[in-house]
Structure 1
Amino acid sequence: MPRLAPLLTCLLGLLLLAATPARADEMPPWGTGESQGEDLSIYLVTFGPGDDVASWWGHGSLVVEDRRLQRSRLYNYGMFSFDERMLARYAMGRLEFWVDDASPSGTFRFYRSLNRDVRLQELNLSPAQRLEMGRLLAVNVLPENREYLYQHYDDNCVTRLRDGIDKVLGGHFQQAMSGPGRMTLRDHTRRYTDVGPAMSLLLDFLMNDEIDRPITRWQEAFLPDELERQVAEFQVVGEDGQKRPLVAKTIPVYEAQGRPKTPAEPPRYGPVLLLLGLALGGGAMGLALWNRRTGARAPRILLGLQNVLVGLVFGVPGLALLVMWLGTEHTVTWRNENLFLANPLTLLAVPLGFQLMRGSMKARERLGHLWLVLAGLGVLGLALKVLPMFDQDNWRLIALLLPLSLGLAGALRLARAGAPSSAGRAPEPMTSSLKAS
Structure 2
Amino acid sequence: MKKLFLLLLCFISFNLFAQRQARLSENSEISLITVAPGNELYSNFGHSALWVEDRENGLSVVFNYGTFDFDTPGFYMKFVRGKLDYMLSAGRISYLVNAAKAENRSVYQQKLNLTVAEKNSMYAFLIENIQPENRFYKYDFFYDNCTTRLRDIFELTLGDDLEWNRKAEGYTFRYFLDIYLAEKPWQDFGIDLVLGQPTDKIATKREEMFLPDMLMYHVDAATNNGKPLVEQEKMLFEAEKKTEEAGFTILPIHLTWLICILGVIFSIRYYKVGFNDRIFNVILFFITGLIGCLIFFLWFLSDHLATVNNWNILWAFPLNVVFAFLLFKKPAKKWHTLYYAVFGIVCFMLLGFFYTLPQQLHAAALPIVLYFTFKSFNLLYRTKKMNV
**Pairwise TM-score range, normalised by the shorter structure:** 0.7 to 0.9
Using the alignment, how far apart are the partners of 2:114 and 2:260 within structure 1?
60
The structure number with the bigger radius of gyration is 1
1:125-144 CA-to-partner distances (Å, cap 9, x unmatched) read: 12221122222212211112
Using the alignment, how far apart are the partners of 2:353 and 2:170 within structure 1?
28
2:236 partner amino acid: V
Using the alignment, how far apart are the partners of 2:326 and 2:2 within structure 1?
44
Q: Cα distance, 1:370 vs. partner?
A: 5.0
Q: Cα distance, 1:194 vs. partner?
A: 3.0
Which residue is 1:314 aligned to? 288
Which residue is 1:26 aligned to? 16
Which residue is 1:69 aligned to? 57
| Structure 1 pair 177–317 and aligned structure 2 pair: CA distance change class (3 A) | farther
Q: Percent identity?
A: 24
2:173 to 169, 177, 185: 185
1:59 to 47, 68, 76: 47
Using the alignment, how far apart are the partners of 1:179 and 1:165 within structure 2?
18
Question: Are 1:277 and 1:403, in contact at CA under 8 Å, matched by a contact in 2?
Answer: no
**Helix, strand or coil: the match of 1:75?**
strand
1:284 partner amino acid: G
Which residue is 1:123 aligned to? 112
Matches within 5 A, 1:160-239: 160-173=149-162, 176=164, 180-237=168-225
Structure 2 runs not aligned, ≥5 long: 245-250
Q: Cα distance, 1:98 vs. partner?
A: 0.8
Q: Cα distance, 1:154 vs. partner?
A: 0.7
Q: Cα distance, 1:223 vs. partner?
A: 0.6
1:213 partner amino acid: K
Which residue is 2:248 aligned to? none
1:120 partner amino acid: Q
Asked whether 1:285 is paired with 2:254, we answer: no
1:179-236 CA-to-partner distances (Å, cap 9, x unmatched) read: 5443011111222233432222122121221121222121100110110111111123
Which residue is 1:154 aligned to? 143
Using the alignment, how far apart are the partners of 1:367 and 1:236 within structure 2?
67
1:146-176 CA-to-partner distances (Å, cap 9, x unmatched) read: 1111111111111111111222321444x53
Asked whether 1:294 is paired with 2:276, we answer: no
Using the alignment, how far apart are the partners of 2:2 and 2:186 within structure 1?
25
Using the alignment, how far apart are the partners of 1:210 and 1:178 within structure 2?
24
1:97 to 86, 97, 111: 86
Which residue is 2:303 aligned to? 329
1:254 partner amino acid: F
Question: Are 1:371 and 1:406, in contact at CA under 8 Å, matched by a contact in 2?
Answer: no
Higher mean displacement: 85-94 or 365-374? 365-374
Which residue is 1:394 aligned to? 361
Using the alignment, how far apart are the partners of 1:259 and 1:157 within structure 2?
28
| Structure 1 pair 171–146 and aligned structure 2 pair: CA distance change class (3 A) | farther
Structure 1 runs not aligned, ≥5 long: 1-13, 238-242, 262-270, 423-437
| Structure 1 pair 415–381 and aligned structure 2 pair: CA distance change class (3 A) | closer
Using the alignment, how far apart are the partners of 2:58 and 2:91 within structure 1?
15
Using the alignment, how far apart are the partners of 2:48 and 2:27 within structure 1?
23
Question: Are 1:337 and 1:381, in contact at CA under 8 Å, matched by a contact in 2?
Answer: no
| Structure 1 pair 230–213 and aligned structure 2 pair: CA distance change class (3 A) | same
| Structure 1 pair 378–418 and aligned structure 2 pair: CA distance change class (3 A) | closer
Which residue is 1:266 aligned to? none
| Structure 1 pair 177–398 and aligned structure 2 pair: CA distance change class (3 A) | farther
Using the alignment, how far apart are the partners of 1:117 and 1:363 within structure 2?
61
1:54-88 CA-to-partner distances (Å, cap 9, x unmatched) read: 11111110000002123200001011112324334
Question: Are 1:178 and 1:216, in contact at CA under 8 Å, matched by a contact in 2?
Answer: no
**Helix, strand or coil: the match of 1:210?**
helix
The size of the alignment, in residue pairs, is 378
Q: Cα distance, 1:27 vs. partner?
A: 4.0
Using the alignment, how far apart are the partners of 1:15 and 1:290 within structure 2?
60
Using the alignment, how far apart are the partners of 2:243 and 2:172 within structure 1?
22
| Structure 1 pair 288–383 and aligned structure 2 pair: CA distance change class (3 A) | closer
Question: Are 2:164 and 2:223, in contact at CA under 8 Å, matched by a contact in 1?
Answer: no
Question: Are 1:50 and 1:56, in contact at CA under 8 Å, matched by a contact in 2?
Answer: yes
Question: Are 2:283 and 2:324, in contact at CA under 8 Å, matched by a contact in 1?
Answer: yes
Q: CA RMSD in A?
A: 3.4
**Helix, strand or coil: the match of 1:335?**
coil
2:231 partner amino acid: A
Using the alignment, how far apart are the partners of 1:304 and 1:365 within structure 2?
19
Question: Are 1:349 and 1:367, in contact at CA under 8 Å, matched by a contact in 2?
Answer: no
Which residue is 2:238 aligned to? 255
**Helix, strand or coil: the match of 1:84?**
coil
Which residue is 1:244 aligned to? 227
1:248-292 CA-to-partner distances (Å, cap 9, x unmatched) read: 22111212234689xxxxxxxxx984x865553343222122232
**Helix, strand or coil: the match of 1:73?**
strand
**Helix, strand or coil: the match of 1:143?**
coil
Q: Give TM-score, length-normalised by structure 1.
A: 0.75
Higher mean displacement: 127-136 or 190-199? 190-199
